[in-house]
Amino acid sequence: METYYNPDDLKKFGNIADFQKKLGEKFFDYYGEVFKDSELTAREKSLIALAVAHAVQCPYCIDAYSSDAFEKGWSEGQMMEAVHVAAAIRGGASLVHGVQMMNKVKEIAM
């Protein structure tokens, strides 16, 4: 079945530089640097990436960082907690706008 998302396309991510070499290379240099061990370990960054992948709902990123986080030793429970963090922030982001709604209603209501 043809779909917009093809798992095999993940392997072709590097090809984005084919259409714009300079920017593509700069992006991948930056990307590589971001995920290196530094003040946060590569392992910690992998779990953050997994949570962010869920927040931005990127199937390629979820595929890549589910494997990467598990490879780096995070347990299923820890990975699911990270996804809950993403879900809580996303849910909270909607809900906190409820204050704006309340403000507006209070402004116009008798």
CB of 71 to another protein, least distance (A): 5
Number of residues that bind another protein (CB under 8 A): 11
> Within 10 A of 50 (CB to CB), how many other CB atoms are there?
27
CB of 41 to another protein, least distance (A): 7
Determine the Cα–Cα distance for residues 99 and 97; give it in Å rounded to an integer: 5
- Give 11-27 as a DSSP string: GGGGGGGGT-HHHHHHH
User: Contacting another protein (CB under 8 A), which of 6, 41, 57, 103?
Assistant: 41
Q: According to CB under 8 A, which residues from 44 to 103 bind another protein?
A: 67, 70-73, 75
- Write out the H or E segment, with its range, that includes residue 75: none
Q: Contact positions toward another protein, by CB under 8 A?
A: 11, 37, 41-43, 67, 70-73, 75
